[in-house]
Structures are given as structure tokens and as C-alpha cells.
Structure 1
């Protein structure tokens, strides 16, 4: 089902220096619904949270997780990766990716995992509303490339914005997610082809 030369994920390497505008984050506490769709655990967002990229506003629709990470950075895989999926009014997509390293417990994850749905198809309400700010790194520098969604139909034309700075999650938090899914849920790396990766 997945065709095209700009597929995701990729190994981000061979960076091209560029004047990347800072992403304008405007996140509210809108994440109240958490669900296990059998492929990932996802937090859905009410309207009101957005980013601005290329002069266009993209509304945060949902965030979900992959273990191990789908994208690699200079050959390095991470134990967990979050994807914050946004859409513009025109239907264009932008995904902010955050890498997790094993370390101290992550407060944002703690909030989400406390209501983790254990069974596929199960949906729960979070005890307290989650702001996506809670899982972003303090340093918002990023890599950028054009890619696709990583699940079928793998729609291309997605702006990928990968945070350079990883955040930490505890070993227990990472294992809890992996245990609930029972198997890795990362798509294999795809060929970069002629795409530039900007930094």
C-alpha cells in the first residue's frame, strides 16, 4: 500500500545547514482521551493546541508512541519516540517527533501512563488533561525533512520536524509501553533517496 520515494521513517544524517525558523508552539491542556488501537497508544486532543510552520497554522490532533524509535539520528535508535500529529485547515500534515532516552521518569508520560489502556480497542479518560508541552524538550532546535505517515496508506507530503534534544523516560515507563503492545511497533527505515535533511 505504501508507495513513493519520500517515505518515513529515515536515518537522519548528512545534514544541510539551513536557516530554519523556530517552530511557534501554542499548546494547551487539551489531551483528555487515551486509547489503545492495537498498533499504538494515542492521546487525542480537543481543538486549541497548534504550531506555526512556514507561516501556516497546524492544529494538534493527537500524539502517539513507537518503541523502539522509528527515525534514527546519525545511525542511533532510541527506545521510544513520540509523534505529535498536526493538520492545517487545508489538510496538510506536520509531525513533531520527540526521542526518549532511558533516564529519569517523564512527568508527561507518567500522566498518560497512569490511565494506559491495556487492551486493543480500549479507550480511557485521562485523570488530568495532558499538555503536549509536557513531553517536549526545553531546547526546541529541530531537524526537518519531507516524508510520509509511517502507517498505511503512508501518505506523503508530511513535514517532519524532529527535535534534536532527546528527553528522558524511566526504564519502567519504556517497558510498560512495550509490555502493553507486546511487540515492537516501529516501521523499518526507508531509503532517503534525494531528500535533504535540514538543520
Structure 2
């Protein structure tokens, strides 16, 4: 059973902002003055992040904890994400309630924040219910290659659907993406992917039906983790679907032309449990 989390306003601000950035790379982002946390939460991440971390070299994942004292948990944390999910070591927990999706076709706009392509909903009308608590969809974004691994095996990409509760808790769905058929649900978004850092979101011409993105088998893995970008704050509830979805080679290659590699390597599991919830 997942342990109940207590969030504080400043921590939740950090969490939402960094997870919104939770994917990034390639483009060199100009260093800006740090705004207050409250102002950053208002603006979220439709503007370029002011931090100078990256996915390579001296500002890459290995050094995130050294770049800023606020990032210390990137190095010292005990519940960091992503992880390698070893199937044989997962545990069935009958107390976990089945995950409920309340998704409806929604208009989105896209931002290139220098770290990833992020989809921002025009209305807050998508949610999930996790163990009786509702979390509203705040944004989605992509990583390549995948951040989570199954039995040491990664995937071509990973989609993160970031949700926030009324108590400022975060629940993130991780959806693996493998090369295969063209993905029609994301086709209109892919037609307008912003190749450069944006100062204004790009509108997707048609509504995106997120429920259509989900695989037929909705078995999930649950564990307590963190943001996968600085400041790597913990107490994030991760919900990783076992069955991957597909995107065509052309779709994957188009994203990689913008972000060649924007993933954090897997982190130690330490003494955490990975639970299984089956909702076929």
C-alpha cells in the first residue's frame, strides 16, 4: 500500500515546476535571474527554465547535485526516479484501488522549454483517481529514450502525464513508447512540434483524446519516487503502465531531431517496494 504523503506549499511549487521541465536537453538555454517560487508557479514552464542543468557534460545528471545547493537531493535522496522495474521483485498489493481515468478530448498547446516538448491543456478537465484521491492533469511531456526501464530494458520514448491534487500532491503516469505503427492520437500535435525554444505556446489544431493514448492492458506499477529533473524533489507518486504504446519511426525521429537525448539514467531502488495494480 502506498504511504500517504504530506506536502508543503513551497515543496509542491518546486515539484510542479521541475516536473513540468522534467524533460529537456539539446538547446542551450540562456541563464536568467531566478524569479520567486510563487511567480514561477504562476508562469509554470511555458518560458525557458532559468536553471543551467542539462543532460550532458559538466551540467549533466551526474553533476546535478553539485550545481546548486537546492539540488542536493539529486545526489543524496533515497527515493529518486526513474528506476529499473524488475518484474520478479514487484509485489501484488490487494489494497491498491484500481486507477480511474477521467479523460476527455481536450485542446492543448505546445511549448518547447529547452528541455522537452510540453503539452498544456486549455482547460483543467482531465483527471485520475488514485486510491480515492483525485489528481487533475497539469501537463504532459516526453523523454527520449525512456527514463524507466523494465528488467534493464529501455524504450524509444516515454510520455509523462503530470497530475496535481487539491492538496498539492503530484501523481505522474509514465507511459512507455516503442517504435511501431503511426500514433494517430498525437499526429496533429506532431504536425506543429516547436523545434526551437518558445516564448509563446503553439496551438494544436484538434483536441487530443488522451484516453485514446492508453494501452488496452492498463496494469500499472506503483512506487514512491521523485522528479526526474533538478531539484529532484521526492514524495512523487509514480504510476507506470506496463504495456507500451506505439509511435512510428518517423514520429520518434522527428522528436529526436529536437531533443536527441533528454533522459535521466535509472536511480537506485534502495529499500522501496514496487507494487502491482491490475486493472484489465
Structure-2 residue corresponding to 1:185: 262
User: Would you tell me which structure has more helix in proportion to its own residues?
Assistant: 2
Give the TM-score of the pair, scaled to structure 2: 0.69
Structure-2 residue corresponding to 1:28: 104
3-state SS of paired residue (2:204): strand
- 1:41 maps onto 2:117 in alignment: yes
Give every structure 1 segment of 4 or more consecutive aligned residues whose post-TM-superposition deviation is greater than 6 Å: none
Give the TM-score of the pair, scaled to structure 1: 0.96
The structure that has the greater radius of gyration is 2
State the Cα distance separating 1:134 from its structure 2 match: 2.6
State the Cα distance separating 1:31 from its structure 2 match: 3.8
* Counterpart-to-counterpart distance in 1, 2:183 and 2:111: 19
**Structure with the larger RCO, 1 or 2 (CA within 8 Å, 6+ apart):** 1
State the Cα distance separating 1:44 from its structure 2 match: 0.8
After superposition, what is the alpha-carbon deviation per residue over 1:109-140, rounded to whole angstroms, capped at 9, x for unaligned? 21211111110125200011212213211221
**Root mean square deviation, CA, Å:** 1.1
Question: Match for 1:5 among 68, 78, 81?
Answer: 78
- 1:142 maps onto 2:220 in alignment: yes
Question: Match for 1:68 among 137, 145, 148?
Answer: 145
- 1:197 maps onto 2:270 in alignment: no
- 1:16 maps onto 2:81 in alignment: no
Q: Between Structure 1 and Structure 2, how many residues are aligned?
A: 198
Structure-2 residue corresponding to 1:93: 170
User: Would you tell me which structure has more strand in proportion to its own residues?
Assistant: 1
* Structure 2: 5+ residue stretches without partners: 1-70
After superposition, what is the alpha-carbon deviation per residue over 1:1-42, rounded to whole angstroms, capped at 9, x for unaligned? 141100100001121122232111001222421111110001
